[in-house]
Structure 1
């Protein structure tokens, strides 16, 4: 007997040790993959209509951006081109649609109407008002520039009132209403439409302590005056959840049938508290059937921005607001802020070197917000999206442009996600991702197959998928964008029904009966959905009997076949599935008029259903036994 040499044994041991080392290194480099999550998206379950994403902003020379103590104004002066670049980043690239300016700015203070214009609050003398600069005109000019870049909603929310104004008598109410009306009229005078207006930015703040009764009376006084003068602006009612009285004050307004008729939305102000607190305002919004907005929250409210996981944490914050609390619009706390008054919670940081502007930085909050704002546009409706794994959060939205899905992986491992689309047929999905190491990274597109597909999310990542919608064919009974054997089985299951019949039961023509005419429609749609004419193996004269001969000659090829050898479905095999594609396209409307064919009964299609369910087994050319459809059967 011959035994292996010692050198051979040493080589084997070295090889084994090398392999173990390689495996160990790979295990260290590749993050583990969690158990696959299933995401069910159901277009039949509809939720709120979105009103867009925006930000609270200051005008560029507001001292809240860059402050110079001796001058009392911003030291760096940004050129028009530099300002335009910031506007481009916010309203073209980030696609913010809402502008919520700080009005007036920090140095302007009170001063629109320093002295009462006259003794009659119902006759306004605009010549006695001063709107210059940051009192109002600068904010309106800012919106005018944002509007040319796609912004469509201006929301004024005064932070202070005139020092002479009181808040107790009916005349005080009328004077305050006149003051607000003057601002609305100024906006129209400058050609800037004003869409929403608050009586005060924060009714519980020290600078504007306004009672629920006063706010109610101002709305009842000003609302009719706005209508008479042709203004469409609606009131937004802010509810500051740091104040115990804010919610009860809002009920004073909303409980009045006249006042509530002029209210367009409720605005939740969390003041750094947990996003779950929105539930208090959500209950009020639901009671009065009003849209719910979230204002002045930022990435710093969602977790420690220094952890590196801030992007997914802020996205998760947005997810909870939109999904759990039906928030329809989000106005971020700071669109931009300048050093030294800045922090990383702003969407953009403007940089100054001494007294000169030196550029900007796009913060992680910018990219995380963009995973929503660039795709979920005003008018999109949220539809149901249910994840089987708590670490995978998702919301989905439908609009005329298509389907948008936002996914968040909150775990520290790779997460595989399988999609199950119901009631919506999507085309090719484009994909964009932000993670601790990526900002809006473009990923390979995915194409749904049978309404399902799978992706993998890296740890702490946010991914947005967007797709156009496919028209649902009459014969596509499961409404997944594909007419196939699954739809045939649906028709077979519903065949003969005439009570409580739906399209999903196999009723293609809507006559509330599932019969042979519905099967014929399925056949038509089956034949016309494939534009490339799978089954034309010889490339001559379309799909015909000559192509069947090509298929028979190639039958049995595995892993090496081409379309010219009988591979219709592109899987490199020639088998029964390719025969069925040839047979299907032999019935294309316009070549052979299927409407003149006799209506088949369910039993006549059994072989078709059986053949589509055949499990293929790898084998070499022509040596694999085939127990289903054979060339002889096809030729006979």
Structure 2
């Protein structure tokens, strides 16, 4: 009798537990096309199409497409990472160039970048802590040998950079996700006694340097510029002729674990998103595994940042390294922190491959698990600067400061096909193309609208169908084009 009673109790307990599991587990929410329509926005070479709405599509039944029918397949019930934001860097160079524009062009640039309706709706920004190559000269915020940081001042930034950041925040509707990055500690904190040429942070100044991040963040915030996050060091494995500082993976890990992480916590800045690496895709996995396999360092790290420079050779941009890092550390975010076309050439401003590089990178980075994407300078002058070491580069927008003219490259529009239609909080969803000439990624926004980006780098005009759950809407991809299809 006792055995039977015990068995009944076990069964009852199991049934109750099962009922609780069933009750709290949410099934995958179904997605139905119904009467939804598709708005098609296109940017294409050899045309005047620039994020222009070209047509509205209707879905028709197509239960199973034949293999001869090119398709972009979408499944909104399969969800991946959440979008943080898309944007660009507000550097000294951008700010100094911006200050030379007329008020009319300043207002236009802010609207074009940050207004989600009449512009491309940037929501993310990065700025430099002290000087970088895209500054007119080298500078720091503290006087020599001031270990206590008593002379700390951002007065330098008040002339150009801070006014630009504040205007960008205002143009974005009062909220802009801003993260900050140092290129070098002050020269006297380093073993080469120089801001330039790499060098290492001296052990004696690790705590002072950790305190410096806190000083910077709190000072900027007291001036009305909220800081969302920070990276440990821009390009920590690059010995550059401009501001730079080298950290091995172990050095960065130990600096985070023993100094920067605890200092942020003790200073009330534990909520700031700490980004490690902030360099190229080639070594992203090695850096991530060294830091994140140490639980005492990993607990302070929000995510891993990366650039594209060393891997920008043809179509081999080592997206597999990004994907492997995401799969190995799914609880940590990935953020593209910097990228641009180097070696500025004024005759190449209309080169269509500028935008295609952005589109190709963004699609593959997002499909590899990246949650945020940041371009480099939002604006540069007619020389690809200013830059105090001659490292002139391209930006999505250039200003001819002599004639007060804004020049929008196609990179601006290619980025806009993502930033305008894929908003913070959007979830990446299942997407796949049946043709390698059509690259694609897709997101479902918090308001329920699905944004599907399709890029065609070929010389061919390709007819294809957007297929969802047995329903298809057919359109045509123009040669060398990027399209965003919005299902609403």
TM-score of the aligned structures, taking structure 1 as reference length: 0.55
Task: Classify the secondary structure of the residue corresponding to 1:200.
Answer: coil
Closer/same/farther in 2, CA of residues 309 and 288 from structure 1, 3 Å limit: closer
Aligned to 2:156: 133
Corresponding residue for residue 284 of structure 1: 325
2:184 to 144, 160, 165: 160
Q: Would the aligned equivalents of 1:299 and 1:345 in 2 still touch at CA under 8 Å? A: yes
Q: Which residue of 2 aligns with 1:103?
A: 129
2:398 is aligned to 349
When the two chains are superposed, the root-mean-square deviation of aligned CA atoms in Å is 3.0
> Once the 2 structures are TM-superposed, how far is the Cα of residue 359 of structure 1 from its aligned partner?
1.9
Superposed CA deviations along residues 164-219 of structure 1, whole A, max 9, x for unmatched, are 10456654211111111111111222122111111211212323122333322332
Q: 1:109 offset after TM fit, Å?
A: 2.3
Residue number among 218, 224, 236 corresponding to 2:262 in the alignment: 224
Task: Judge conservation of contact 1:272–1:297 (CA < 8 Å) in 2.
Answer: no
- Counterpart pick for 1:192 among 222, 225, 232: 225
Shift of 1:364: 0.8
Structure 2 residue 297 is the aligned partner of structure 1 residue 268: no
> Hey, what's the Cα distance between the residues in 2 that align with 1:99 and 1:171?
32
Q: 2:294 matched to 1:252?
A: no
Report the more deviating stretch, 276-285 or 189-198: 276-285
Is residue 84 from structure 1 mapped to residue 133 from structure 2 by the alignment? no
Aligned to 1:359: 405
Asked if structure 1 preserves the Cα contact closer than 8 Å seen for 2:455 and 2:481, the reply is yes
Aligned to 1:453: 473
Number of the residue aligned with 1:492: none
Decide whether aligned partners of structure 1 residues 94 and 57 sit closer, same or farther in structure 2, where only a CA change above 3 A counts: same
Post-superposition CA distance 1:420-475 (Å, at most 9, x none): 213xxxxxxxxxxxxxxxxxxxxxxxxxxx7322112222221111133xxxxxxx
Residues 240 and 313 (structure 1 numbering): CA distance in 2 closer, same or farther, change over 3 Å?
Answer: closer
CA contact (8 A) 2:101 2:404 kept: no
Once residues 304 and 287 of structure 2 are traced to their aligned partners in structure 1, the CA distance between those partners, rounded to angstroms, is: 13
Q: Are the aligned partners of 1:293 and 1:329 in contact in 2 as well (CA < 8 Å)?
A: yes
Q: Does 1:410 align with 2:457?
A: yes
Superposed displacement of residue 41, structure 1: 0.9
Alignment check: 8 A CA contact 1:266 1:285 kept = no
Distance 2:189 2:341 in 1: 37
How far apart, in 2, do the equivalents of 1:62 and 1:305 lie?
Answer: 21
For residues 376 and 436 of structure 2, what CA distance do their matches in structure 1 show? 28
TM alignment of 1:467-486, pairs within 5 A: 467-468=487-488
User: What are the Cα deviations for residues 376-434 of structure 1, in whole angstroms up to 9, with x where unaligned?
Assistant: 11111111112222212221111222111111223322211122213xxxxxxxxxxxx
Q: Tell me what 1:321 maps to.
A: 365
Return the alpha-carbon distance in structure 2 between the equivalents of residues 204 and 377 of structure 1: 33
Q: For the Cα contact (< 8 Å) 1:54–1:98, is it kept in 2? A: yes
Which residue of structure 1 lines up, in the alignment, with residue 193 of structure 2?
none
In 2, are the aligned partners of 1:59 and 1:142 still within 8 Å (CA)?
no
Q: State which of 436, 441, 452 in structure 2 corresponds to 1:390.
A: 436
Q: 1:250–1:409: structure 2 CA closer, same or farther, 3 Å change rule?
A: closer
Residues 269 and 307 of structure 1, relative CA distance in 2, 3 Å threshold: closer
Q: Which of 373, 378, 399 is residue 419 of structure 2 equivalent to?
A: 373
- In structure 2, C-alpha distance between the alignment counterparts of 1:278 and 1:98, rounded to whole Å: 22
Mapping 1:451-600, distance limit 5 Å: 451-468=471-488
Contact 2:75 2:429 in 1 (8 A): yes
Distance 1:132 1:216 in 2: 32
- Return the alpha-carbon distance in structure 2 between the equivalents of residues 190 and 258 of structure 1: 33
Contact map agreement 1:41 1:383 (CA 8 A) in 2: yes
Whose RCO is larger (CA < 8 A, sep 6+)? 2
Partner of 1:350, secondary structure, is: strand
SS of residue paired to 1:95: coil
- How far apart in 1 are the matches of 2:128 and 2:82? 26
Q: Which residue of 2 aligns with 1:211?
A: 248
The 1-side partners of 2:159 and 2:290 are apart by: 33
1:82-111 per-position Cα deviation (integer Å, ceiling 9, x unaligned): 433322221121211111123324245242
- SS of the residue aligned with 1:205? coil
CA contact (8 A) 1:110 1:160 kept: no
The structure with the larger Rg is: 1
SS class of match (1:178)? helix
Say if 1:42 and 1:129 are closer, same or farther in 2 by CA, change over 3 A.
same
Query: In structure 2, the residue corresponding to 1:263 is in which secondary structure?
Result: coil
Structure 2 Cα separation of the partners of residues 148 and 172 of structure 1 = 37
CA spacing shift, 1:250–1:61, aligned 2, 3 Å: closer
CA 1:454–1:46 in 2, change beyond 3 Å: closer, same or farther?
Answer: same
How far apart are the structure 2 equivalents of 1:252 and 1:311?
34
Corresponding pairs, count: 384
The answer (yes or no) to whether the contact 1:309–1:460 under 8 Å persists in 2 is no
The Cα of 1:300 is off from its aligned counterpart by: 6.7
Contact 2:397 2:412 in 1 (8 A): yes
- 8 Å CA contact retained: 1:396, 1:403: yes
Distance 1:344 1:259 in 2: 35
Q: Is the 8 A contact 2:94 2:378 kept in 1?
A: no
Question: In the TM superposition, what is the alpha-carbon distance from 1:358 to its structure 2 partner?
Answer: 1.1
Contact 2:189 2:202 in 1 (8 A): no
1:521 matched to which residue of 2? none
Q: Where do 1:328-343 residues align within 5 Å? A: 328-341=371-384
TM (norm. structure 2) is 0.71
In 2, Cα distance between the equivalents of 1:184 and 1:311?
33
| Contact 1:239/1:250 (8 A) holds in 2 | no
**Structure 1, unpaired ranges of 5+:** 1-33, 67-75, 423-449, 469-636
Three-state SS of the structure 1 residue aligned to 2:327 is helix
